[in-house]
Amino acid sequence: MTTHLPSTMQVSVLHKARDLRNEERAVPTPAPREVLVRVRAVGVCGSDTHYYTDGRIGDFTVDQPLILGHEASGEIVAVGDGVDPARIGERVSMEPGIPTAFSHETLTGNYNLDPSVQFFATPPVDGTFAEYVTHPAAFTYAVPDTVSLTAAAMLEPLSVAIAATQSAHIGLGSHVLIAGAGPIGLLTAAVARLRGATRVHVFDVREERLSTAEQYGAHRAMLANEVNTAHDRYHAFIDATGATPAITTGIACLGPRGTAVLVGMGADTVPLPLSLIQGREISVTGTFRYRNTWPTAVELASAQAIDLDGLITSRFPLAQAEEALLAGAQPGQIKALVEP
């Protein structure tokens, strides 16, 4: 079932590193159990910028035209067979990773680790820098009218923060150190406070971001060179940078039985202080995206528990997606938004 729709739409397509083109494509038709979403807001992630500047992230290479963008919200304008037509008109946020139904990882509840997961803007899967996209109805979550579509797009980075704090076992009375005061670090600080952490410290190399970290729940925000590895001890360390110096600094600050959670993507290998890890029985783990976080993220947004709209520091139309991809490097910028 559908409403009246145009036959074509505008999209922003990456052909190779630093070669982004505005193009026209046919509006897709939702398959069974899918919905068609009119995209209204797309947050720019660091991964989008890396694909634009480098043409690759790890083993994923842009070797054919690719639409970037995966932090998306919009409105359902059409549904495929098997989807309730009453969903047309819903304001929604889209969880971007779609696993295969019967993989071992999906069946054991770890669907984010399915090796065949299809994730927006991860080659060869197109993303959401487009006026319309189709998506499985089950991974398209309604948001109430009290939540802006800007905030609905931010449920993706919020989900990263929720997953990170879960992996770090943060709870009442936890002392937490976070590396990075970008969007993920800020949201991680906010979620850690909501989970009951009584000491949340954030460090970054960009001084202008420290006051923002305090606005998002940090009890203390400091420059990286102000971290005292000789005396500071935390229950949990979460890295949201991928930078090797940040990782080694954070691990050195963990107390006995502490947990380090690596969220940021950086070098393929990082030297670890094994004697310290063994001597303090420190756990070091990665976290890969998220699973089963969207319902919680929607609830937090609905309760206005975190200022998701406040993350946005610049907005761009789809035709200026290239400027949006480069905005994060500018002083004072936290999160750029593309509005198709």
Both tokens assigned to 291: 């699973």
Where do the domains of the chain lie, and which CATH numbers do they carry? 8-154+308-339 (3.90.180.10), 161-286 (3.40.50.720)
pLDDT at position 268, please? 85
pLDDT at position 29, please? 97
pLDDT at position 266, please? 85
Phi-psi region of 190 (alpha: psi -120 to 50; beta: other; left: phi over 0): alpha
Both tokens assigned to 152: 């609905």
Question: How confident is the model over 153-182, as a mean pLDDT?
Answer: 98
DSSP assignment of 56-108: EETTEE--S-EE---EEEEEEEEE-TTS-GGGTT-EEEE--EE--TTSHHHHT
Mean pLDDT, all residues of the chain:
96
Task: Say which residue, 238 or 268, is predicted with more confidence.
Answer: 238
Distances (CA, A) of 339 to 41, 132, 230: 5, 12, 46
Write out pLDDT tens, residues 107-146.
Answer: 999 999 999 999 999 999 999 999 999 999 999 999 999 9
pLDDT at position 45, please? 96
Predicted confidence (pLDDT) at residue 340 exceeds the cutoff of 60? yes
**Given pLDDT bands bounded at 50, 70 and 90, which one contains residue 148?**
very high
Q: What percent of the chain has pLDDT over 70?
A: 99
**Given pLDDT bands bounded at 50, 70 and 90, which one contains residue 58?**
confident
Amino acid at 247: I
Q: What is the C-alpha to C-alpha distance for residues 233 and 201, in angstroms, rounded to an integer? A: 11
Predicted confidence (pLDDT) at residue 1 exceeds the cutoff of 60? no
Task: Say which residue, 8 or 332, is predicted with more confidence.
Answer: 8
**Given pLDDT bands bounded at 50, 70 and 90, which one contains residue 89?**
very high
Q: Are 99 and 116 contacting, i.e. CB atoms less than 8 angstroms apart?
A: yes
**Given pLDDT bands bounded at 50, 70 and 90, which one contains residue 235?**
very high
pLDDT at position 2, please? 52
Question: How confident is the model over 226-246, as a mean pLDDT?
Answer: 96
* Residue 302 φ/ψ, nearest 5 degrees: -65, -35
Predicted confidence (pLDDT) at residue 322 exceeds the cutoff of 70? yes
Write out pLDDT tens, residues 211-221.
Answer: 999 999 999 99
pLDDT at position 3, please? 58
Both tokens assigned to 308: 């998701």
Predicted confidence (pLDDT) at residue 172 exceeds the cutoff of 70? yes
Predicted confidence (pLDDT) at residue 49 exceeds the cutoff of 90? yes
Predicted confidence (pLDDT) at residue 223 exceeds the cutoff of 70? yes
